[in-house]
Amino acid sequence: MSSPSPSPVIERVVFEQTIEGLFVTALRSRMTPALQRVLKDEGVDLMQRLRPAYPVEVWTKCCLAAAKHLHPSLPVEDSLRLLGESVVEGFASGFLGRALMGVVRVLGPHRALARVRQNFRSGNNYAEATVTKLEETTYEVWMNERGPTRYVCQGIILAGLRETKAVGSRVDVTRFDDDSVWFRASWER
């Protein structure tokens, strides 16, 4: 009897709406010709119609390039977190985003955190997440995000909590390995 064939490896991709949300919408006022050239060199040509999906490696290179360009004096972790915050701010400025942010505010921080996996999965084909309540206003969030884009995720979660009007919101990276990251998300009230 032959052994079962291994399951196929699925390429991790980031969807067009994520690329557009960050590099076209959120960074519109800060986009420079120099940054556009760098993004093109890394695989995202903003002067052409965006592709339906991009390999996660292209997303990572573009995020790193944008973070360095926009926040050159900050540590890369901080600049990537700020980039993540920009994703939510850019999304919230659009028509659909304003409507969805209204829903997020109604949901509140507890239920918004419970939707982390679904929210990230709308932007890529690989996001997995678990959310564990530690205290009344403190949660552990595990995600299967690899590499430096874990800090983009940190910023997205933080900005999402702020949209719920959770006072004193914090999202800290507590640990990570080659395949995953753990965040501690908390707020005062």
Instruction: Write down the pLDDT at residue 98.
Output: 74
Out of 39-43, 83-87, 91-95, 135-139, least confident range: 91-95
One domain, residues 105 and 175? yes
- Chain length of the chain: 189
44 within some domain = yes
Percent of the chain with pLDDT over 70: 94
Instruction: Write down the pLDDT at residue 8.
Output: 63
Report the chain's mean pLDDT, rounded to a whole number. 92
Domain limits for position 182: 93-186
Instruction: Write down the pLDDT at residue 6.
Output: 53
pTM confidence score: 0.91
CATH of the domain at 172: 3.30.980
Q: State the sign of the Cα–Cα–Cα–Cα dihedral 163, 141, 147, 151.
A: positive
- 70-103 pLDDT per residue, tens: 999 999 999 999 999 998 887 777 776 777 777 7
Out of 52-56, 93-97, 112-116, 165-169, least confident range: 93-97
Q: What is the mean pLDDT of residues 51-62?
A: 98
Instruction: Write down the pLDDT at residue 104.
Output: 80
Cα maximum dimension of the chain: 62
One domain, residues 125 and 55? no
148 within some domain = yes
One domain, residues 100 and 72? no
Structural domain tally of the chain? 2
One domain, residues 170 and 109? yes
Cα–Cα distance, 158 to 169 (Å, whole number): 7
Question: Which three-class secondary structure state does DSSP give residue 184?
Answer: strand
